[in-house]
Structure 1
Amino acid sequence: MKKVLIVDDALFIRLTLKKMLEKYNFQVVGEAGNGIEAIKLYKELKPDIVTMDVTMPEMDGLEAVKMIKDIDEQAKIVMVSAMGQRTMVVKAIESGASGFIVKPFNEAHVVETLNSL
């Protein structure tokens, strides 16, 4: 069972993702509302996968990805954003993300993306 850390400033999105992932036998080990919390929890929980929102207060997802990758270059991080623009996808991948999921979620795509890691 893969352990997942969900990072998003919107509680509704975190709950939606958690419910979806648990249905497909992922274990949600933690939730964070911004990049600073994400880095702290990543160090503590050592999840297999991180889902990371792009736009958040205090520290955005792109900056958090870079910092997590500095801690663990093998970290598997999937960016999650309503901004499905090509430039944002490229920035996320350049920052070290392993994939990109666009809101609103397509459940099959989310599960397929995480299973592919």
Structure 2
Amino acid sequence: MAKVLVVDDAKFMRMTLTKMLEKANHEVIGEAENGREAVEKYRELNPEIVTMDITMPEMTGLEAVKHITSEFPDAKIIICSSMGQQKMVMSGIEAGAKDYIVKPFNENHVNEAIERVLK
């Protein structure tokens, strides 16, 4: 079981992911709707895992990944991208993200990514 921070500008996506994570016995300890909020919540909540949307207002997911990993090098961040955003995913991994999942979310893929980064 992991404590997870869910970051996405779409409330529906946060709800969908939260349901999947809770079903797999993970605890969603916080949500953020943009990158700036994600960095603040990370500092405040110290989650074990972050699911990070890439395209968000105020600060993108990629910028948030860079901020978080520069401050917390061991942060476990999973990038959430839409189909066809491979380039963004690679940038996210280079910025310090540990894995990625593709939207629309598939429960098995979400759980597999969480398991991989927890190892």
TM-score under structure 1 length normalisation: 0.97
Letter in structure 2 aligned against 1:96: G
Q: Is the 8 A contact 1:10 1:33 kept in 2?
A: yes
1:18-57: CA deviation from partner (whole Å, max 9, x where unpaired)? 0010000100000000001000000010000000000000
CA distance in 2, matches of 1:84, 1:111: 21
Counterpart position of 2:77: 77
CA distance in 2, matches of 1:55, 1:86: 13
Letter in structure 2 aligned against 1:39: V
CA distance in 1, matches of 2:19, 2:37: 21
1:50-89 matched pairs, under 5 angstroms: 50-89=50-89
1:53-83: CA deviation from partner (whole Å, max 9, x where unpaired)? 0000000000000000011000000000114
Letter in structure 2 aligned against 1:109: H
Instruction: Tell me how large the CA RMSD over aligned residues is.
Output: 0.9
Letter in structure 1 aligned against 2:88: M
Q: Percent identity between the aligned chains?
A: 60
CA distance in 2, matches of 1:21, 1:41: 18
1:1-117 matched pairs, under 5 angstroms: 1-117=1-117
Q: Secondary structure at the match of 1:116?
A: helix
CA distance in 2, matches of 1:60, 1:101: 17
Q: Secondary structure at the match of 1:52?
A: strand
CA distance in 1, matches of 2:67, 2:75: 11
Q: Is the 8 A contact 1:34 1:56 kept in 2?
A: yes
Aligned length: 117
CA distance in 2, matches of 1:41, 1:9: 14
Query: What is the Cα deviation at residue 12 of structure 1?
Result: 0.1
Query: What is the Cα deviation at residue 116 of structure 1?
Result: 1.2
Query: What is the Cα deviation at residue 11 of structure 1?
Result: 0.1
TM-score under structure 2 length normalisation: 0.95
**Which structure 1 segments of 5+ residues have no match?**
none
